[in-house]
A and B are shown apart, each in its own frame.
Chain A
Amino acid sequence: EAQVTQNPRYLITVTGKKLTVTCSQNMNHEYMSWYRQDPGLGLRQIYYSMNVEVTDKGDVPEGYKVSRKEKRNFPLILESPSPNQTSLYFCASSLRAPSYEQYFGPGTRLTVT
């Protein structure tokens, strides 16, 4: 089954404790991206990746890091989480660039206290 998976689905952590949210797709997609969703703001892109070892900033990259060492995986790293990073996070992938249908993961709800 073609899918995008994210782990964990729910996470409660404390300020400053490094965490990683994993994202994996099994569709051999080149383009992957991370979004955060906050009430009234829609989805805002954090980082995207055009292919292996090619990543770039989205609209809200501050406080986040990503890596793309393999085509299927695109982890999101919060080196020192803060309460303003409490949000719902989505990973997405598409065949190439954003010009193809985006497939979304199920979301990760992160709470930073």
Chain B
Amino acid sequence: GIQVEQSPPDLILQEGANSTLRCNFSDSVNNLQWFHQNPCGQLINLFYIPSGTKQNGRLSATTVATERYSLLYISSSQTTDSGVYFCAGSGSNDYKLSFGAGTTVTVRA
């Protein structure tokens, strides 16, 4: 599978701050997705975003497939945004899904 690199590995935010998480891929990527793992361990799909930009409330994501990266924006962060954010994707003609190591976000009140 493709290699997925996420940055930064850790992020500490004050409530209300904005932030950007980045995901780089080693090769052309399909099926790019972002996930949030809450402190209880539950994994939730945030975006399926193979290209372009999507928004869902205070979260938005942009994927530039030709340059092999994706960005996740968190605006006006809240303590409930804490957790680990993962991006994942698959290579061309590949049905395996490869994940990055994640970005651990801590939002302080």
Contacts and interface: CB of A to CB of B under 8 A. Distances in A.
Interface residues of B, number: 25
B1 A101 contact: no
Interface string B86-109: 101010000111111110000000
A68 to B, nearest CB: 14
Given A43-B88, A90-B43, A104-B43, A99 B102 contact: no
A45 B45 contact: no
The size bracket of the interface on A is 20 to 34
A97 B31 contact: yes
Interface of B: 1, 4, 6, 30-31, 33, 35, 41-45, 48, 50, 86, 88, 90, 95-102
| Nearest 10 Cβ contacts at the A-B interface | A104-B43, A43-B99, A42-B99, A42-B101, A98-B97, A99-B31, A101-B45, A98-B31, A42-B102, A98-B90
